[in-house]
Amino acid sequence: MEKISGAEAVIKCLFNENVDLIFGYPGGAIMPIYDAMYDYQKDIKHILTRHEQGAIHAAQGYARATGKVGVCFATSGPGATNLITGIADAQIDSTPLVCITGQVHSHLLGTDAFQETDVVGISMPVTKWNFQVTSASEIPEALAKAFYIAKSGRPGPVLIDITKDAQFDTIDFKYRPINVIKSYISKPVLAIENVKKAADLINKAKRPFVLFGQGVILGQAEQEFKAFIEKTGIPSAWTIMGLSALETNHYLNVGMLGMHGNYAPNVLTNQCDVLIAIGMRFDDRVTGNLNSYAKQAQVIHLDIDPAEIDKNVKTDVAIVADCKESLQALLKYVNQNEHKDWLQQFYDLKEKEIEKVIKNETSPETGIMTMGEVIHQLNKITKGEAIVVSDVGQHQMIACRYAEFTQSKSNITSGGLGTMGFCLPAAIGAKMGKEDRTVVAVIGDGGFQMTIQELGTIFQTKVNIKILVLNNEFLGMVRQWQELFFDKRYSSTEMINPDFQTIAKGFGIESKKITLREDLPNALKEMIEHEGSYLLEVMVGKENNVFPMVPTGASVSDIRLE
């Protein structure tokens, strides 16, 4: 053992957990930790973002692209509270994070000291676990628990708040990684009798349908999932968080679920006889009106989190286990099968959607450019090999609907919380985690301006990301709802935007703005091939809408094509 400060103990704990990258912003209450980190710059790289929200979203992007635990630092008070949005986002999207915040001296707790905020109390509802350290001796165990809890079971964010005196005090340092915590069951025991019941339903089904979510990716079960659907011949549709777990062009991949998902999977949800949900949580954006959702079907639900079983949709057979383990078990009991006629129904309805929506959205011959054709052209250049990070709004739905992927962990977006401003810093984190891959940030003009200061992080780090701003001069998704449901009363949704090229130039980023369709292919090619970061602004239709659409409160089978 060696005697070191609590601050240095924090850094050595991170080193022992193989952390190689931290995103953060310094301040008074976390200054000792930053001082300790000065001597470890060769071992752990720190990225100075321009805002704490940028730090946590970057850590999310890193975690989502790599499958590792993302780490971020912030000081007390406003620094810590600026992390809360990202923590809530990570909690609902099951992203493993360890957030370390500085805190005032322990003798000042509860006195309303300068920059004192009860971040443990504030973050409790949106963390998987949090803990306040008031003694240096608590640091090694607290951080060992933090990493284990963040990455085990259903992943999520953990926050460790460390008082300033705990950072200054010294301890005899010894680090022991934790692999078990009493009363915390990270991995439920697979009930093989439920696997057999599920297999029996699947084998007897005439019109089975698989819904898959991010649990397939988090469980590293992509191969098992693919083997399962190919053996059973079951059509499979994805949530936006499950996108890229299965390659886009797979013959059993029938598209996107939910409010702006594809026509066939929404309509046929209410015609299947067995519904198999794998690593997804039946979010309201997927189910629409629960009173009319898949009432004809027997439901099988595979999820690692028992809290998700029967939460929204009543389950006939629940398999509560690690997704990889449960799919491996199912494979042994399901029969080799094909459902050609049933699959053809998905193909037939897709043709209807192509004719009514997709053709006009991705390959228009006249009129103003559409978001869909931009993504369609992007696919031709990236060939489905890029990581696409999207923000929140119309462009997000379009990117998820039309972006093509050939490998997992390639779609990064804010799903459950729908956090505008997520994209730009998350793209930075994703690229830093996966330097060998092209990272494209697809972002609207509204969300871009929420964290536009992170262009400064790009400028300082020279990270190479491609920023594709789809500019419709509106808060597009809100405007669409105002058009359809509020008699076109466009209240506070029109955007008067700055000159993004001038801003990009100030940060040393090459940029271009295009308004003409004929310029699109070359402009996208130039963006992708450019050495270093690049911003391409594409002016798209101001009042284009995203269809199909399931109106709020409607059944998924009432999805509208126009």
Count CA atoms within 13 Å of residue 70 on its CB side. 36
Catalytic one among 2, 114, 351, 359?
114
Torsion sign across C-alpha atoms 48, 54, 59, 65: negative
Per-residue DSSP letters for 84-122? HHHHHHHHHTT--EEEEEEE--GGGTTTT-TT---HHHH
Helix (H, G, I), strand (E, B) or coil at 32: helix
Catalytic one among 164, 324, 409, 466?
164
Does the annotation mark 164 as catalytic?
Answer: yes
- In angstroms, the CA 492 to CA 478 distance is 9
Beta-carbon contacts of 71 under 8 Å, excluding residues fewer than 6 positions away, are 14, 19, 21, 22, 23, 59, 97, 98, 99, 100
Does the annotation mark 73 as catalytic?
Answer: no
Catalytic one among 280, 477, 527, 549?
477
- In angstroms, the CA 405 to CA 388 distance is 9
Does the annotation mark 500 as catalytic?
Answer: no
How do 170-173 and 70-74 pair as beta strands?
A: unpaired
End-to-end alpha carbon distance in the chain: 69
Does the annotation mark 473 as catalytic?
Answer: no
CA 335 from chain centre, in angstroms, equals: 34
Does the annotation mark 124 as catalytic?
Answer: no
Q: Compute the 3-state secondary structure of the chain and give helix, strand, coil in percent, each to the nearest 5.
A: 45, 20, 40
Q: Which residue has the tokens 């050939």?
A: 406
- In angstroms, the CA 233 to CA 244 distance is 19
The helix or strand, by DSSP H or E, that contains position 193, with its residue range, turns out to be helix 192-204
Burial class (CB within 10 angstroms; exposed 0-12, middle 13-18, buried 19+) of 390: buried
- Could you tell me which of 340, 402, 405 has the C-alpha nearest to residue 370? 402
- In angstroms, the CA 171 to CA 89 distance is 35
Structure tokens at 552: 């709020």
Catalytic one among 31, 68, 115, 453?
115
Segments of 129-284 assigned E as strands: 129-133, 157-163, 170-173, 208-212, 236-238, 253-256, 274-278
Q: Compute, in degrees rounded to 10, the torsion defined by CA atoms 199, 200, 201, 207.
A: 80
Catalytic one among 52, 138, 325, 537?
52
Give CA separation, 107 vs 134, 244, 288, 320, 509, in Å: 9, 50, 51, 45, 47
How do 274-278 and 387-390 pair as beta strands?
A: unpaired
Q: Which residues are catalytic?
A: 52, 114-115, 164, 477
